[in-house]
Structure 1
Amino acid sequence: MKQILKESNHKTTIEIIQQLIQTTGGTSLTHLGLLGDKKVFLSKDQKSAFIYRKQSNKLVVLCDPIGEISFEKLKEFEDYCKSIKCTPCFYQIDEKSIILYEKAGYRVLKLGEEAVVELDAFEIAGKKGAKLRTKRNKFIRQGYQFEVAMPGHSINLLQELKEVSDEWLNGREELSFSVGSFHYDYVSNFPVGILRDKNGQVIAFATLPIQEKNITIDLMRYLKELPYGTMDMLFVSIMFWAKENGFKSCSLGMAPLANVGLDSNSSIIEKSAKMIFKYGNSIYNFKGLLTFKSKFANKWESKYLAYKPYTLLSVITSIYRLVHGTKSLNYITRFMKPLEKKVKIS
């Protein structure tokens, strides 16, 4: 395999990411390489893989490198970045990796916390699980059915899922980079948890990428008109299915800005981010997402951004453009720009 995969070699990139998942298991984000929007840098000894995407003069790496993580491997990737006049940054790295990045000259910023369900400890019995248990029993009584469809999906099923996805999108553009999006080729890689009503219609679904004994709830879509508690029912059903099938944990993804800036040692930037979490719900539903994931998660893992000194603003801008697109960033910019007073000229 070549060290650097060329842009035109799209299929080879996806094939290598599939091989990485099979051989190393990957992380709760590795499957996003299968979207087809990223490239892979392999170290010379092919023991480390960096999944990244270029935005302006930044190479944004999604999570830590897969495989061996070392100072030497970071430097090797950084040398490549310098050779093409780009600056590297790393999005959603683990807390245990911070010392390594700091040694390599990076600064770190807490982004939020990944919600994880340790399945051995997951249950809805007792007082704590009463609300989820009541909702689940109600859906079962009313004839709703949950199933997990394994890869090898028929075109009829994919079309059913697409109809739900299209209604959920309601004309909006798909997000990308660090979140899943609906494409037949992408969805076809994974098991899909499906909730059907008593008439057999798909009303909600979620793709379920597998990393050895762990799974991730990735792409979630649902119809506009739903009974109260539908997503709770879908999530609880996925947890029970995963537990029964021998999986150890289920990642619900990151809750952005969750518990950022609360530590006494937090940076000024992280403390500012805390205020965005508290008052920024008009821009993004920070609190709602944290509240929903807290219904299920029994473990939280901090995630960080690693960036070179004096590049933070441009790095954040690049990541936002990757995930949300230029149109969304322009909207936020206009929203935050103060109105100019018009002066009447007599």
Structure 2
Amino acid sequence: MTDAIVTGLDVARDVVPLPRDAGASGTASVKLMRLAAGLGLAALSLISVEFLFEPLAELGLVYKLHTGLGGASLASLSLLGAMAAGRAMQRQIRPQRPGPTPCALQQASQIVYAHSHAAAGLVALGDKQILFSQAGDAFLMYARRGRRFIVLFDPVGPRSAWPGLVMALLRQAKASGCRVAFYQVSADFLPVAADAGLRLFKLGDQAIVDLTRFDLKGGDWLKLRRSINRAERDGLEFSVIAPEAVPDVIDELGYVSDVWLAHHQAGEKGFSLGTFQRSYVAAHPVAVIRLHGRIVAFANILTTDDREEAFIDLMRHLPGTHRGMMDLLFVKIMLHLKAEGYSRLDLGMAPLSGLSSRESAPLWHRLGRLIYENGERLYNFKGVHAFKAKFDPDWQPRYLAVSRKSEALPAVVDTALLISGGVRRLMRR
């Protein structure tokens, strides 16, 4: 079975057949419909895994799927299922690949701590392979899904080592009969991508808060101040637990995590999302919210030694505790990190934000913008962007990089399946 059979365009071709007597204009219209369906599928697959079940859902920023969806939405979900199932069927049964050795994980973690890319601390989950530079001072992390190597983030380490790492992985993938996709790379990766002949597709914008200028003074912060003051008056208390003290409360944290997962009828994800592994959680500071002495919310914070950047990873809470709880947690984390001398906080990506709507913009941008503006029935794109925007972040673009345009949609679906752990877990809820 060739790779073309499982691309989004091939699935869309079955759903939107070309009329036999169609003229040139009709043919163009049908092709546009196929492309639109394919991009919609890509957006839905990413959204359903990486965003639908985040704590933002509890804040009312994400709408739940329901049986009242329109025909177009149901068709898109059917298309998603067909494509995901097709890629799963294509994948041959292989033995479980061994993870990185403890020595490799330690080396990678040391590189992360020495550089300003806190989110790269996700390497410590141990669910990704690690490729080191020849000098051992840089690495990239990736996982294999079927016949694709999926790299997470930019390489970590000196930028002079990036081109060599990328070319080494491309050669390794070719020798294994695989393709490579680079997921959530930044603008810093663009020169390397160009030299390697990779095509870039924007996924959204990353929200980065400049902590050096973050405060709650002035009228612009009035609504947020009121939310926080109300939460504190109602008895919510914030504190940060140092890594060495986390084992003392790990059972409480585990309980909150279990309740949160059960409430969302979701299992743990992976790859680009943290999971509740006790050793992993205990390796980082954990911010908690208590009510009457009991932990009701927490977030673990990935940091770097130079204190340039921090990243909020796991965010879990007991549903229905307090409306302002997550506002309190976010703001107090920012103020705490600022007091500790950190320069910025990574809040993660707002999907499909920042795409151009100009008529001359690439088709990926125009269709993505169309989904962003009109896809509220499935996912509150604008709400997620607005929630992060109220912390006044800098918005930085994030991209998918692949070798050919036709690989973009299959790469997105493979990434979604990798994060979720398979088709069944992707389609749950």
Cα deviation, residue 119, structure 1:
0.9
| Counterpart-to-counterpart distance in 2, 1:286 and 1:153 | 37
Q: In the TM superposition, what are the counterparts of 1:109-120 in structure 2 within 5 Å?
A: 109-120=201-212
Q: Which runs of 5+ in 1 are unaligned?
A: 1-5, 336-346
| Counterpart-to-counterpart distance in 2, 1:285 and 1:11 | 40
| Counterpart-to-counterpart distance in 2, 1:329 and 1:143 | 37
Q: State which of 285, 291, 299 in structure 2 corresponds to 1:191.
A: 285
Q: In the TM superposition, what are the counterparts of 1:1-346 in structure 2 within 5 Å?
A: 7=98, 9-25=100-116, 27-69=117-159, 70-170=162-262, 171-197=265-291, 199-211=292-304, 212-213=306-307, 214-262=309-357, 266-309=361-404, 310-327=406-423, 331=427
SS in structure 1 at match of 2:216: coil
Contact 2:119 2:310 in 1 (8 A): no
Contact 1:29 1:62 in 2 (8 A): no
Percent identical residues: 30
Q: Does the C-alpha gap of structure 1 residues 154 and 110 become closer, same or farther in structure 2, counting only changes over 3 Å?
A: closer
What are the Cα deviations for residues 64-92 of structure 1, in whole angstroms up to 9, with x where unaligned? 11113343432222112212222111111
Worse-matched range after superposition: 136-145 or 278-287? 278-287
| Counterpart-to-counterpart distance in 2, 1:330 and 1:240 | 36
Q: Partner of 2:81 in structure 1?
A: none
Contact 1:167 1:223 in 2 (8 A): yes
Q: Does the C-alpha gap of structure 1 residues 168 and 246 become closer, same or farther in structure 2, counting only changes over 3 Å?
A: same
RMSD: 2.1
Please identify runs of 4+ aligned residues in structure 1 that moved more than 4 A: none
TM-score (norm 1): 0.88
Contact 1:194 1:204 in 2 (8 A): yes
Q: Which runs of 5+ in 2 are unaligned?
A: 1-96
Letter of the structure 1 residue corresponding to residue 303 of structure 2: I
Letter of the structure 2 residue corresponding to residue 221 of structure 1: R
Worse-matched range after superposition: 280-289 or 203-212? 280-289
Worse-matched range after superposition: 256-265 or 130-139? 256-265
| Counterpart-to-counterpart distance in 2, 1:174 and 1:224 | 17
| Counterpart-to-counterpart distance in 2, 1:224 and 1:104 | 46
| Counterpart-to-counterpart distance in 2, 1:117 and 1:125 | 16
Contact 1:150 1:190 in 2 (8 A): yes
What are the Cα deviations for residues 124-149 of structure 1, in whole angstroms up to 9, with x where unaligned? 11110001111222222333211000
